[in-house]
Amino acid sequence: ITELAVDLPAVDDAGMAALGDALASAPRLRRARVGWFGTEGRTARELVTRLASSRTLTALAIGAGVLMPGATTDAAAVSALAAALQSSASLREVDLGALPLTEASAAELAEALAASASLTSVCPAPSHLPGAALGHVVGLVRASGALRALSIRGPRQLGTAGGRAVLASLGHSAGLTELSLVGVGMQGASAADLAPALGAAGRLRTLDLSRNWLRDAGLEAVGAGLRVNSCLTSLSLVGMGATAVGVRHVAAAVRENSTLTELRLDGNAVGEDGAAAVAEMLLANGALKSLGLRQCKLGDGGISAIGRALPENSSLEALDLTFNRFTSHGAAALLEGMGLNRGVAQLDLWPWTVDSEGVNALSSMLRNNSTLACLDLGPATFSSSDLLALAGAIREHSKLRKLGIKGGQELCAGRMALLVALEHSQHLVDLWHRRRQLVHWRASGALRGRT
Residue 40 has pLDDT above 60, yes or no: no
Of the two residues 424 and 219, the one the predictor is more confident about is 219
d(CA 295, CA 277): 17
Residue 445 has pLDDT above 90, yes or no: no
d(CA 331, CA 116): 53
d(CA 45, CA 145): 28
Of the two residues 277 and 449, the one the predictor is more confident about is 277
pLDDT at 260: 97
Residue 281 has pLDDT above 90, yes or no: yes
Of the two residues 232 and 390, the one the predictor is more confident about is 232
pLDDT at 167: 83
pLDDT at 38: 47
Instruction: Provide the CA 137 distance to its chain's centre, in angstroms.
Output: 23
Alpha helices in 53-158 (DSSP H): 75-87, 103-115, 134-143
Angle at 40 between CA 38 and CA 44, to 5 degrees: 85
Of the two residues 435 and 220, the one the predictor is more confident about is 220
Model pLDDT for residues 317-334, shown as the tens digit of each residue? 999 999 999 999 999 999
Count Cβ neighbours within 10 Å for each residue of 355-378 and write b for 16 or more, e otherwise. Answer: beebbbbbbbbbebbebbbbbbbb
Q: DSSP labels for 193-228?
A: HHHHHHHH-SS--EEE-TT---HHHHHHHHHHHHHH
- To the nearest 10 degrees (0 to 180), the angle between helices 215-228 and 244-255 is 10
Q: Which stretches does DSSP call E strand in 274-350?
A: 290-292, 318-320, 346-348
**β 318-320/346-348 pair status:** parallel
Model pLDDT for residues 74-127, shown as the tens digit of each residue? 677 778 788 888 888 888 998 876 666 677 777 788 788 878 888 888 887 554
Confidence of residue 442 (pLDDT cuts 50, 70, 90): very low
pLDDT at 298: 97
pLDDT at 279: 98
Model pLDDT for residues 196-232, shown as the tens digit of each residue? 888 888 889 999 999 999 999 999 999 999 999 989 9
Residue 157 has pLDDT above 90, yes or no: no
pLDDT at 446: 41
Most confident region among 86-95, 125-134, 292-301 by mean pLDDT: 292-301
**Dihedrals phi, psi of 85, to nearest 5 degrees:** -65, -40
Distance between the two ends of the chain, CA-based, in angstroms? Answer: 37
- Lowest mean per-residue pLDDT among 144-148, 227-231, 303-307: 144-148
Mean pLDDT for all residues in the chain:
81
- Per the DSSP assignment, residues forming a β-bridge with 61 are 33, 95
- Per the DSSP assignment, residues forming a β-bridge with 263 are 235, 291
Confidence of residue 134 (pLDDT cuts 50, 70, 90): low
For the residues 22-34, what does the mean pLDDT come to?
82
pLDDT at 65: 56
Percent of the chain with pLDDT over 90: 37
- Lowest mean per-residue pLDDT among 188-197, 272-281, 424-433: 424-433
Angle at 429 between CA 341 and CA 360, to 5 degrees: 45
* Residue 284, CB-side half-sphere exposure with 13 Å CA sphere: 14
**β 430-433/436-440 pair status:** antiparallel
Confidence of residue 135 (pLDDT cuts 50, 70, 90): low
Most confident region among 29-33, 61-65, 91-95, 294-298 by mean pLDDT: 294-298
pLDDT at 71: 46
For the residues 251-272, what does the mean pLDDT come to?
97
Do 197 and 168 contact (CB within 8 A), yes or no? yes
Model pLDDT for residues 333-348, shown as the tens digit of each residue? 999 999 999 999 999 9
Is the backbone of residue 91 left (phi > 0), alpha (psi -120 to 50) or beta? Answer: beta
Assessment of whether the complete model's pTM goes beyond 0.85: no
**Dihedrals phi, psi of 49, to nearest 5 degrees:** -65, -35
**Dihedrals phi, psi of 384, to nearest 5 degrees:** -60, -45
d(CA 24, CA 73): 24
- Please tell me whether residue 71 adopts helix, strand or coil conformation: coil
